[in-house]
């Protein structure tokens, strides 16, 4: 019984020490997190709407592939995105159209 009480007391003191140490390290951790690039931690979404006319850059951003990607990579990315965004499965028809437009645009560019 005494051993259980001592174990609980030790756990409590260890937790208290850890909380105090975290409070002292908080400014340093915030500074370290701010120094990371935004794309590494959730800031990687493209800000802004679609261009009026599809460009190679926009098409590669929509599909998430390199602008110099081969046909197989383009098809795999298109399939993956259409599975997630197909209108028959609750996806947006506009987004699905943009995904298809991006695939068609990059396919036409890889043929040339």
pLDDT digits (tens, 9 = 90+) for 15-67: 898 888 888 888 887 887 777 665 544 555 666 778 889 899 999 989 999 98
Classify each residue of 75-111 as buried b or exposed e, where b means 16 or more C-beta atoms within 10 Å of its C-beta: eebbeebbeebeeeeebeeebbebbeebbebbeeeee
pTM value surpassing 0.85: no
**Vertex 53: Cα angle to 47 and 66 (nearest 5):** 60
Task: Quickly tell me which residue has 């929509």 as its tokens.
Answer: 62
């Amino acid at each position: 019984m005494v051993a259980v009480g001592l174990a609980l007391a030790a756990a409590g003191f260890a937790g208290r020490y850890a909380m105090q140490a975290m409070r002292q390290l908080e400014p340093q951790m915030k500074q370290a997190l701010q120094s990371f690039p935004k794309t590494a931690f959730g800031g990687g979404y493209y800000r802004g709407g679609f261009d009026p006319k599809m460009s190679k850059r926009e098409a590669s951003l929509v599909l998430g592939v390199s602008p110099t990607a081969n046909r197989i990579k383009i098809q795999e990315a298109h399939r993956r995105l259409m599975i997630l965004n197909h209108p028959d499965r609750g996806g947006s028809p506009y987004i699905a159209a943009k995904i298809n437009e991006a695939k068609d645009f990059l396919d036409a560019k890889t043929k040339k």
